[in-house]
Amino acid sequence: MQKPMVSIGMPVFNGEKFLEKSLQSLLAQTYTDFELIISDNASTDKTEEICNDFESKDRRIKYYRNLTNIGLSANFNKVFRISRGEFFKWNNSDDLSGPNYLNLCVETMACRTDVVLINSWSKFIDAEGKNINGIDYGWQLMSDSPSERMLKVIDNIDHWVNSLYGLIRTNALVKTRLLGPYPGADYRLLAELSMIGKFFVIPNVLFWRRLHSGATSNKVKNEQWIKSYYYAGRKIYYPRNWCILIDFLLIVLLCNLKISKKINLAIRIIRWARWNIYAIRKELATVVKHYL
């Protein structure tokens, strides 16, 4: 079977409310040389029924169902590992893409071999599809210097990461550790990608990120939700800010940069940690309480 140029990975859990609209927006793309991989993380609603119906009508769709909840990050990583395309894109089961999104991203990738990730300006919508919160202009990381690109990622920790849902070169993504098992691991992934190549943002709104009561972006601060879905019920605890701090320092330690640039990056990371010292101290207390 011929490999598609683009692979789209959709990890989903109980996504029946917005799943159909999200699938329809992908199938309406003017660029058609793609596969759509859906990994259902043991949903208990009508997600399976909806996916089976779409799969039966479009051969580009491949539906997989996990028998048990494997955790959010593992499900995200699974759809990438199954993929076959030269380019890869994650897509939430509640977000929407304009019909020219893939076409413009692929065309730009063909012209810019130094770019590893392309996305567009984004708008936020609510459960009814109404615009909220204005425009997110994304992360335009076009410096020739890897350290300068990573500095911008550090400065954007705790800001929106719509860049994660852009089109990514597969040969760059395989060089990363993908998503770690903790909330906020998307910043680590984007940091690793920024050291490999540039990020380009198409100056047009082609992506709509849906914010609603059931969205991960709203639930990620809910401790019970994190335990049951992010950690898949396992009795573990990953201190988010500690994990980000350690992972970013490891990236700097292991990267191929001059020592002066490494020191500059490390200082910026430590500065971020100082700004978040209250949360870091609170997490340390939680770790002690959790494991003792």
Round to whole Å and give the CA distance between 13 and 157. 26
pLDDT at 134: 86
Residues 271 and 192 in one domain: no
Round to whole Å and give the CA distance between 153 and 288. 30
Q: Is the pLDDT of residue 288 over 80?
A: yes
Round to whole Å and give the CA distance between 264 and 267. 5
Containing structural domain, residue 252: 219-291
Round to whole Å and give the CA distance between 205 and 123. 7
Residues 96 and 109 in one domain: yes
Residues 14 and 131 in one domain: yes
Round to whole Å and give the CA distance between 292 and 285. 11
Closest CA to 240 of 208, 214, 273: 273
Reported as a single tens digit per residue, the pLDDT across 135-161 is: 999 999 999 999 999 999 999 999 999
Reported as a single tens digit per residue, the pLDDT across 6-52 is: 999 999 999 999 999 999 999 999 999 999 999 999 999 999 999 99
Indicate the number of domains in the chain.
Answer: 2
Residues 57 and 161 in one domain: yes
Round to whole Å and give the CA distance between 284 and 85. 41
pTM: 0.94
Residues 199 and 229 in one domain: no
- Report yes or no on 1 lying in a domain: no
Higher pLDDT, 225 or 221: 225
pLDDT at 225: 73
What is the CATH classification number for the domain harbouring 76? 3.90.550.10
Average confidence (pLDDT) over 237-261: 96
